[in-house]
Chains A and B, each alone.
Chain A
Amino acid sequence: DTGVSQDPRHKITKRGQNVTFRCDPISEHNRLYWYRQTLGQGPEFLTYFQNEAQLEKSRLLSDRFSAERPKGSFSTLEIQRTEQGDSAMYLCASSFLGQGTDTQYFGPGTRLTVL
């Protein structure tokens, strides 16, 4: 039984560069969530998908951020023209809608550092 995986685990980039992160959810999970966690804070919701449909986006998700889940399996989160304020841990979680337990399982996260 594999959990949620994220790639890469760490990313260092220069301001202005584009970065892309990948999340592979638990097999058969139809919901996928992205959160951002800055130092000393709890995770903050960014967006979520049900299958391939993006159902909600937070106001935190500026137009430089885009997320996709093209086939309803893995998801990518892209940040264009990165800024130092984008430095954070990006967490992915998945869950299964239909069993009523509403438990989100988290991946290990991708730590982004923007220089």
Chain B
Amino acid sequence: AQSVTQLDSQVPVFEEAPVELRCNYSSSVSVYLFWYVQYPNQGLQLLLKYLSGSTLVKGINGFEAEFNKSQTSFHLRKPSVHISDTAEYFCAVTPNFGNEKLTFGTGTRLTIIP
């Protein structure tokens, strides 16, 4: 079984400042890792994913994440945030043997302060 921990439930950040949203996971098997974003009253949109290869993954809207196997982490970063980044961010994991259910963290609410 897998589990995901997002320690920060809320993160306030000033506009144009950098941000890091933390994600740690636990699994007895190798995994694929994902970050999804959810805007109010909408479904989830994929930001980026790690399947294999380079541990630094770039996604949409200027976000990137780094997979660290030894620390079982997959933190999300953006060098300069905008008001439009205000949303809920979810980290998720699935076993790497394909198309299995996603296990999500509890989410981090990112609030951008003008």
Asked whether any CB of chain A lies closer than 8 Å to the CB of B114, the reply is no
Q: Is the CB of B43 within 8 A of A42?
A: no
- Complex: A105 Cα to B103 Cα, angstroms: 15
Q: Is the CB of B51 within 8 A of A109?
A: no
Q: Is the CB of A42 within 8 A of B104?
A: yes
Q: Is the CB of A108 within 8 A of B42?
A: yes
Q: Is the CB of B106 within 8 A of A101?
A: no
Quick one: which of B22-57 are within 8 Å of A by CB? 32, 34, 36, 41-46, 49, 51
- Complex: A97 Cα to B100 Cα, angstroms: 10
Q: Which residue of A lies closest to B32 (CB)?
A: A102
Partner of A43, one of B44, B49, B99: B44
Q: Is the CB of A42 within 8 A of B90?
A: yes
Interface residues on chain A, size class: 20 to 34
Chain B residue numbers with a CB within 8 Å of A22 are none
Interface residues on chain B, size class: 20 to 34
Asked whether any CB of chain B lies closer than 8 Å to the CB of A112, the reply is no
Q: Is the CB of B94 within 8 A of A106?
A: no
Partner of A107, one of B34, B43, B105: B43
Chain B residue numbers with a CB within 8 Å of A28 are none
Chain B residue numbers with a CB within 8 Å of A6 are 43
Asked whether any CB of chain B lies closer than 8 Å to the CB of A74, the reply is no
Asked whether any CB of chain B lies closer than 8 Å to the CB of A48, the reply is yes
Q: Is the CB of A100 within 8 A of B98?
A: yes
Of the listed residues B4, B41, B49, B101, the one surrounded by the most CB atoms of chain A closer than 10 A to its CB is B101
Q: Is the CB of A106 within 8 A of B105?
A: no
Partner of A106, one of B43, B98, B106, B107: B43
Q: Is the CB of A43 within 8 A of B98?
A: no
Q: Is the CB of B44 within 8 A of A106?
A: yes
B-contacting residues of A (Cβ < 8 Å)?
A: 4, 6, 31, 33, 35, 40-45, 48, 56, 58, 91, 93, 95, 97, 100-109, 111
Can you sample 5 A-B contacts with CB below 8 Å? Answer: A40-B106, A42-B90, A42-B104, A45-B101, A101-B49
> Closest 7 interchain pairs by CB?
A42-B104, A45-B101, A106-B43, A106-B44, A108-B43, A97-B99, A109-B43
